[in-house]
Amino acid sequence: MRIAALYDIHGSLRALEAVLADVDRIEPDVILVGGDVALGPMPRETLELLFERGRRVRWIRGNCDREMVAAARGSATASGPWGERTGWAAARCTPAQLELLATLPTTAVLEVEALGDVLFCHGSPRSDDEILTRITPDDRLRAALEGVGQRLVVSGHTHVQYDRVAMGKRLVNPGSVGMAYADEPGACWALLGPDVSLRRTPYDVERAIADVRASGFPDPEEFIGKYLAGRLGAEEATRFFESMAAASRS
């Protein structure tokens, strides 16, 4: 079985459309949506497009999916600009879409051609918001991967692509479809089977910017400036996330 791993789409419809055009040409057996799918400028439309792929799509939950459900139920915990955006995105989704997000598993194990059983998660196998990067030290990796039997673990959350070997495991982050931290513009994803191929698909960023401005998404210019017109490079973003992880442990 071959799997297209699409992580951190974040309601970016134009980026998803471009990636799915590439995916449709390749025809993998499964499209694995790795969490944080809808929290962004076009949440309902993004979910509708994925629903059209039917049973080919497998889903796992990300922290933003969890927070959207909490917002819809009146128990939101996020604050600041992203708190407002979480409530806005939840209100844009249909009851059926929110029910899907509420029932997603946090992990999935799928057998991949030539790679064996692969564990898919969002942040880490134990938490949907744990930070793992290409430079996460062994002590944190050891704790995050405790009890994991699979030799290949695919996670997202930090929006930076990498493929590294550590602690006897191969650790892959496909990057972000909708809000990639990368040195070149585009939508990032991965194809698994028979090996791991990190992919980047160009898309119409100007059209995506127009969508954000027309959608009613809260604080659109901040979002455009940080994630579409500009963005952190991979190394800068990696250092930032590692500093966040270190601060949370101090």
Residues 79-121 have pLDDT tens digits of: 788 999 999 999 999 999 999 999 999 999 999 999 999 999 9
Contact 145, 130 (CB under 8 A): no
Residues 138-186 have pLDDT tens digits of: 999 999 999 999 999 999 999 999 999 999 999 999 999 999 999 999 9
- Would 201 be classed as within a structural domain? yes
Q: Is the pLDDT of residue 76 over 80?
A: no
Q: Who contacts 139 (Cβ-Cβ below 8 Å, separation ≥6)?
A: none
- Gap between the Cα atoms of 123 and 107, Å rounded: 10
Q: Among positive and negative, which fits the CA dihedral 94, 66, 18, 2?
A: negative
Q: Who contacts 235 (Cβ-Cβ below 8 Å, separation ≥6)?
A: none
- Gap between the Cα atoms of 132 and 95, Å rounded: 32
Residues 218-233 have pLDDT tens digits of: 999 999 999 999 889 9
Q: What is the pLDDT of residue 44?
A: 98
- Would 147 be classed as within a structural domain? no
- Would 135 be classed as within a structural domain? no
Q: How confident is the model at residue 188 (pLDDT cuts 50, 70, 90)?
A: very high
- Would 88 be classed as within a structural domain? yes
Q: What is the pLDDT of residue 250?
A: 58
From the list 135, 186, 185, 191, the residue with the least C-alpha distance to 158 is 135
**CA 28 to centroid of chain Cα atoms:** 19
Q: Is the pLDDT of residue 214 over 90?
A: yes
Cα angle: 127, vertex 161, 93; to 5 degrees = 60
Residues 49-75 have pLDDT tens digits of: 999 999 999 999 999 999 999 999 998
Domain count, the chain: 1
Range of the domain at 50: 3-107+175-249
- Would 149 be classed as within a structural domain? no
- Would 155 be classed as within a structural domain? no
The domain that contains 81 carries what CATH number? 3.60.21.10
Q: What is the pLDDT of residue 206?
A: 96
Query: What is the phi-psi region of residue 120: left when phi exceeds 0, alpha when psi lies from -120 to 50, beta otherwise?
Result: beta
- Gap between the Cα atoms of 103 and 4, Å rounded: 22
- Would 229 be classed as within a structural domain? yes
- Would 131 be classed as within a structural domain? no
- Gap between the Cα atoms of 8 and 29, Å rounded: 20
From the list 61, 64, 101, the residue with the least C-alpha distance to 85 is 64
From the list 137, 130, 109, 238, the residue with the least C-alpha distance to 182 is 238
From the list 75, 62, 14, the residue with the least C-alpha distance to 41 is 14
Question: Could you identify the residue written with the tokens 């079985």?
Answer: 1
From the list 142, 123, 111, 17, the residue with the least C-alpha distance to 60 is 123
Cα separations in angstroms, 250 against 203, 243, 244:
40, 11, 10
